[in-house]
Amino acid sequence: MGDQVLVQLAILLRAVVRPTDLVARLGGDEFAMWLNGADHMTAAERAEQLRIQVPRELGELSEDASLRLGVSIGIATRSANSEEQIDSLLRRADAAMYGVKHEGRGHWRVAPEAPA
Protein backbone atom coordinates (compact mmCIF):
# COMPACT_ATOMS: atom_id res chain seq x y z
CA MET A 1 0.00 0.00 0.00
CA GLY A 2 2.90 2.39 0.70
CA ASP A 3 3.96 2.50 -2.95
CA GLN A 4 0.37 3.15 -4.04
CA VAL A 5 0.11 6.04 -1.60
CA LEU A 6 3.34 7.60 -2.89
CA VAL A 7 2.23 7.28 -6.51
CA GLN A 8 -1.19 8.78 -5.78
CA LEU A 9 0.36 11.59 -3.74
CA ALA A 10 2.70 12.43 -6.63
CA ILE A 11 -0.31 12.60 -8.95
CA LEU A 12 -2.14 14.92 -6.56
CA LEU A 13 0.88 17.19 -6.17
CA ARG A 14 1.36 17.48 -9.92
CA ALA A 15 -2.34 18.31 -10.32
CA VAL A 16 -2.06 21.51 -8.24
CA VAL A 17 0.99 22.99 -9.96
CA ARG A 18 1.43 24.90 -13.20
CA PRO A 19 3.55 23.65 -16.12
CA THR A 20 6.39 25.98 -15.00
CA ASP A 21 6.49 24.46 -11.49
CA LEU A 22 8.35 21.40 -10.26
CA VAL A 23 7.38 18.48 -8.02
CA ALA A 24 10.15 16.22 -6.72
CA ARG A 25 10.39 13.39 -4.24
CA LEU A 26 13.19 14.10 -1.77
CA GLY A 27 13.11 10.62 -0.28
CA GLY A 28 10.85 8.42 1.78
CA ASP A 29 7.55 10.22 2.08
CA GLU A 30 8.96 13.74 1.63
CA PHE A 31 8.22 15.77 -1.47
CA ALA A 32 9.17 19.30 -2.51
CA MET A 33 7.30 21.66 -4.79
CA TRP A 34 8.92 24.63 -6.53
CA LEU A 35 6.19 27.14 -7.37
CA ASN A 36 8.00 29.45 -9.74
CA GLY A 37 7.36 33.09 -8.88
CA ALA A 38 4.74 32.26 -6.25
CA ASP A 39 4.46 34.31 -3.08
CA HIS A 40 3.60 32.87 0.33
CA MET A 41 -0.13 33.51 -0.21
CA THR A 42 -0.19 31.44 -3.41
CA ALA A 43 1.84 28.70 -1.73
CA ALA A 44 -0.55 28.74 1.24
CA GLU A 45 -3.54 28.41 -1.09
CA ARG A 46 -1.96 25.33 -2.70
CA ALA A 47 -1.11 23.91 0.72
CA GLU A 48 -4.68 24.36 1.94
CA GLN A 49 -5.99 22.68 -1.19
CA LEU A 50 -3.69 19.71 -0.54
CA ARG A 51 -4.54 19.63 3.18
CA ILE A 52 -8.17 19.05 2.26
CA GLN A 53 -7.77 16.94 -0.87
CA VAL A 54 -5.04 14.50 0.18
CA PRO A 55 -6.82 12.83 3.14
CA ARG A 56 -10.00 12.49 1.11
CA GLU A 57 -8.31 10.91 -1.91
CA LEU A 58 -5.66 8.85 -0.11
CA GLY A 59 -8.18 7.61 2.43
CA GLU A 60 -9.75 5.56 -0.33
CA LEU A 61 -6.51 3.56 -0.65
CA SER A 62 -6.49 2.41 2.97
CA GLU A 63 -8.32 -0.76 3.93
CA ASP A 64 -8.05 0.27 7.58
CA ALA A 65 -10.54 3.04 8.37
CA SER A 66 -8.56 3.96 11.49
CA LEU A 67 -5.47 4.72 9.37
CA ARG A 68 -5.78 8.38 8.46
CA LEU A 69 -3.47 9.59 5.71
CA GLY A 70 -2.68 13.27 5.36
CA VAL A 71 0.06 15.79 4.78
CA SER A 72 2.20 18.10 6.86
CA ILE A 73 3.43 21.01 4.78
CA GLY A 74 6.21 23.51 5.35
CA ILE A 75 6.34 26.56 3.10
CA ALA A 76 9.35 28.78 2.45
CA THR A 77 9.39 31.62 -0.05
CA ARG A 78 12.01 34.04 -1.24
CA SER A 79 11.78 37.24 -3.23
CA ALA A 80 12.90 37.33 -6.85
CA ASN A 81 15.99 39.39 -5.96
CA SER A 82 16.97 37.19 -3.00
CA GLU A 83 20.41 35.66 -2.85
CA GLU A 84 19.25 32.89 -0.53
CA GLN A 85 20.55 29.51 -1.67
CA ILE A 86 18.21 26.59 -2.39
CA ASP A 87 19.58 24.52 0.50
CA SER A 88 18.69 27.33 2.91
CA LEU A 89 15.20 27.59 1.42
CA LEU A 90 14.72 23.84 1.83
CA ARG A 91 15.96 23.96 5.45
CA ARG A 92 13.43 26.67 6.28
CA ALA A 93 10.60 24.71 4.64
CA ASP A 94 11.71 21.54 6.44
CA ALA A 95 11.79 23.32 9.81
CA ALA A 96 8.27 24.65 9.20
CA MET A 97 7.06 21.16 8.25
CA TYR A 98 8.54 19.61 11.39
CA GLY A 99 6.85 22.34 13.42
CA VAL A 100 3.54 21.22 11.92
CA LYS A 101 4.30 17.57 12.71
CA HIS A 102 5.16 18.52 16.30
CA GLU A 103 1.78 20.24 16.68
CA GLY A 104 -0.26 17.30 15.44
CA ARG A 105 0.19 16.97 11.66
CA GLY A 106 -2.26 17.59 8.88
CA HIS A 107 -1.65 21.33 8.56
CA TRP A 108 0.73 23.76 6.88
CA ARG A 109 2.97 26.55 8.07
CA VAL A 110 4.89 29.35 6.38
CA ALA A 111 8.51 29.59 7.52
CA PRO A 112 9.85 32.91 8.77
CA GLU A 113 11.75 34.84 6.12
CA ALA A 114 15.47 34.28 5.85
CA PRO A 115 17.65 36.92 7.48
CA ALA A 116 18.90 39.51 5.00
Q: Select which of 3, 21, 29, 87 is catalytic.
A: 29
CB-side exposure of 98: number of CA atoms within 13 Å?
6
Q: Is residue 29 among the annotated active site residues? A: yes
Measured in degrees and rounded to the nearest 5, phi and psi for residue 33 equal -125, 130
What b/e sequence results for 57-87 when a residue is b if at least 16 CB atoms lie within 10 Å of its CB, and e otherwise? bbeeeeeeeeeebbbbbbbbbbeeeeebeee
Neighbours of 89 (CB within 10 A): 18
Catalytic residues, by residue number, are 29
